[in-house]
Amino acid sequence: MSGKLIVVSNRIPTAATPSGGLVFALHETLRKTGGIWIGSDPEFQADPSDTLKEIGDQSTYQRLAFEMSETDYQTFYLGFANSVLWPVCHRRGDLVQMSRRFEEGYRRVNKRLARQIFEVAGPEDMIWVHDYHFFPLAADLRELGFEGKIGFFLHIPFPALGDMGALPPSANLAHWLADYDLVGLQTRSDVARCLEMFRSELGAELMHDGKIKYGERRVGVRSFPIGIDVEAFVATAEKSTNREEIAKDLSGELIIGVDRLDYSKGLPNRFRAFGRYLETRKDKERRPSLLQIAPPTREEVSAYRDIRFELEELAGRLNGENAELDWTPLRYIHRNIDRDVLAKLFRTARVGFVTPFADGMNLVAKEYIAAQDPEDPGVLVLSRMAGAAEDMTEALLVNPYDIEEMSEALAQALDMPLEERQARYTACMKRVRATDVGRWSENYLNALKDSRRDLSWSSFNERHKNSA
Ligand code: ADP
């Protein structure tokens, strides 16, 4: 690559060496190649600047922030991104909040950001855009005349064609995505849904090389299942083998769930399934506990407040009905936990209980597997609806709408003999290693470098002008 790499994501890390899988992988990539990471400034400005500003550590590559007003945050981030696109992509059209202000905010922030990127991008630079906050960014950059390579990676599920009906007509995903050179999605099912969308568009054609031809544009659509920083997570989990220390208050067998408190994560049904397991278990002396860690997220959005109330009520009822003087079956922690403690909790837990209704990948499933002791591993109970289930077929796969099936899977997991646990763990761990996040970003960037734009942008721009 003769130009530099420009990464765009909503959040930008500011620490010299950031932690966390994806952030760390992108940081490592940029540390090696140099370049720019662009993300949003967490401070609101009454009058957002037209230029990007330096933010955080600048020692190995440039970190630049785009400013937003509070209205931008309300309409672009909480509004269109998280009250329209997020529910549509997670099959919850019923939770969509429609507002012209949201659409306008989304377009305004993307257009402003495109102008700011255009100022700092050279013609040979390669731009890698992350996630649903920025679907139209390539279209806006092309309109300004940027002809270099632009890639997109969607971390959440690609929406089903039927669900896209809940989007306003101005949100034309096919039109927006066709201006990228490469659209990266998590799973083969996501790719199938994306191709279905293009097939339904007049003027789109599936080419022999697997690309989509849309008017004069060509776009590649491929899956790149994301993973975790495997070695780092294994090392963190191994650091303390002292189960007693971490589990001194966690009597009996532990089942663990760790998720942002999001309606897509299927938490109420998870609690119900655990309750059902307690009711139906044969050995009443057995006292497993479910530890659910669920930090708050997007609490300004009403659907997130609703799920919190629902869970609190369910948790109270479950403990009221089942607790003993010396046993609390459900522990529900509503805050963030240090990653090293989390890794040790995963290692301690007999069962990882991961039951989303819809999830792009679900990294918790991979972290749970990576944290296990190979000599005495726990069992992953995983929703078929999580992207991770496409590859981790040796987990106990469940339907997150089927309380009975999930309760039976808990029983099966808690009773599973060592040999079977080891066989399932080994198969899942193979997939966790194969999708290591360092390799993921390398694979994606190599594919983007190899993508060819075989059309003349001047003719595209001409066409745009003529149709305007
Ligand atoms: P999503 O991206 O939808 O939140 P993922 O499962 O893909 O879901 O990723 C969540 C990440 O956040 C994981 O790395 C997980 O360990 C981390 N995480 C989730 N809950 C907590 C928590 N309470 N404390 C610390 N980290 C958490």
What is the per-residue pLDDT across 279-305, written as a single tens digit (0 to 9) for each?
999 998 999 999 999 999 999 999 999
Whether the per-residue pLDDT at 171 is higher than 90: the answer is yes
Nearest C-alpha neighbor of 234 from the set 337, 336, 340, 338: 340
The confidence band for 212, taking pLDDT boundaries of 50, 70 and 90, is: very high
Tokens of 33: 């190649």
How far is 250 from 331, CA to CA, in rounded Å? 10
Confidence of residue 244 (pLDDT cuts 50, 70, 90): low
Q: Would you call 155 a catalytic residue per the annotation?
A: yes
Q: Give exposure, 89-106, as e/b (b: 16+ Cβ within 10 Å).
A: bbbbbebbeebeebbbbb
Residue 465 pLDDT > 80: no
Residue 370 C-alpha to ligand 1 middle, in angstroms? 14
Of the candidates 349, 338, 389, the one whose C-alpha atom is nearest the C-alpha of residue 372 is 349
Contact predicate 209/422, CB 8 Å: no
CB 395 within 8 A of CB 382: yes
Half-sphere exposure of 375 (CA within 13 A, CB side): 2
Element (H, E) at 39: strand 35-44
Q: What phi and psi, each to the nearest 5 degrees, are found at residue 187?
A: -130, 170
Distance 260 CA to ligand 1 centre (A): 6
Measure the CA–CA gap between 328 and 291, rounded to whole angstroms.
Answer: 10
31 closest CA partner among 63, 3, 53: 63
Question: Active site residue: 125, 359, 391, 436, which one?
Answer: 359
In angstroms, what is the span from residue 336 Cα to ligand 1's centroid? 9
Q: Which two tokens stand for residue 44?
A: 């609101």
Least Cα distance to 76 among 46, 51, 108, 29 occurs for: 108
State which of 259, 292, 354, 383 you would mutate to test the pocket of ligand 1, scoring each by most atoms of that ligand within 8 A of its C-beta: 259
From the alpha carbon of 361, which atom of ligand 1 is closest? 7
DSSP per-residue letters across 206-217? E-TTSPEEETTE
The answer to whether domain 5-227+438-463 and domain 230-434 are alike in fold is yes
Beta bridge partners of 185: 223
pLDDT at residue 456, rounded to an integer: 44
Is-catalytic flag, 130? Answer: no
CA of 218 to the centre of ligand 1 (A): 35
Rounded to an integer, the average pLDDT of 168-183 is 96
Residue 22's pLDDT is what? 82
- Structural class in CATH, domain 5-227+438-463: alpha beta
- Ligand 1 pocket, residues with Cβ under 6 angstroms: 21, 258-260, 293, 295, 336-337, 342, 361-364, 367
CA distance linking residue 6 with residue 125, whole number of Å: 7
Domain layout of the chain by residue ranges: 5-227+438-463, 230-434
Looking up tokens 């796969």 gives: 397
CA distance 140 to 129: 13
State percent of the chain over pLDDT 90.
85
What are the beta bridge partners of residue 44? 68
CA of 299 from ligand 1 middle (Å) equals 16
* Strand ordering across the sheet containing 396-398: 330-333, 289-293, 254-258, 351-354, 379-383, 396-398
Pair type for strands 53-54 and 62-68: antiparallel
Pairwise CA distance, residues 393 & 380, whole Å: 10
> Atom 15, ligand 1: which residue's CA is nearest?
364
Tokens of 327: 């046993």
Residue 161: CB partners within 8 Å, gap ≥ 6?
A: 193, 196, 197, 200
Q: Specify the pLDDT at position 136.
A: 98
Give the model's pLDDT for residue 209: 84
**Alpha-helical runs (H) found in 77-136:** 86-89, 100-120
The predicted-structure confidence for 23-36, as pLDDT tens digits, reads as follows 888 998 999 889 99
Tokens 């190995």 sit on residue: 60
Is pLDDT larger for residue 45 or for residue 460? Answer: 45
Give the model's pLDDT for residue 118.
98
In contact, 253 and 292? CB cutoff 8 Å: no
Of ligand 1's atoms, which has the minimum distance to the CA of residue 359?
3
Q: Which of 363, 366, 437 has the most ligand 1 atoms within 8 A of CB, as the residue to mutate?
A: 363
pLDDT at 80: 98
Output the CA 231–ligand 1 centroid distance in Å. 18
- Hey, what amino acid is at 207? M
In angstroms, the CA 67 to CA 38 distance is: 11
We find that the CATH architecture of domain 230-434 is 3-Layer(aba) Sandwich (3.40)
The rounded distance, in Å, linking the Cα atoms of 160 and 88 is 8
Q: Which single residue is written with the structure tokens 């294994």?
A: 234
Could you tell me if 425 and 372 are in contact, meaning their C-beta atoms sit under 8 angstroms apart? yes
Q: Ligand 1 pocket: which of 86, 155, 364 to mutate (most atoms <8 Å of CB)?
A: 364
Select which of 155, 163, 179, 229 is catalytic. Answer: 155
Q: Tokens 């938490």 correspond to what residue? A: 267
Nearest residue by C-alpha to atom 8 in ligand 1: 362
pLDDT at 5: 97
* pLDDT score of 453 more than 90: no
Among 155, 260, 267, 383, which residue has the most ligand 1 atoms within 8 Å of its CB, making it the best to mutate?
260
Find the length of the chain.
Answer: 468
pLDDT band at 17 (very low <50, low <70, confident <90, very high): confident
Q: Please tell me the pTM assigned to this model.
A: 0.94
Going from the Cα of 355 to the center of ligand 1, the distance in angstroms, rounded, reads 14
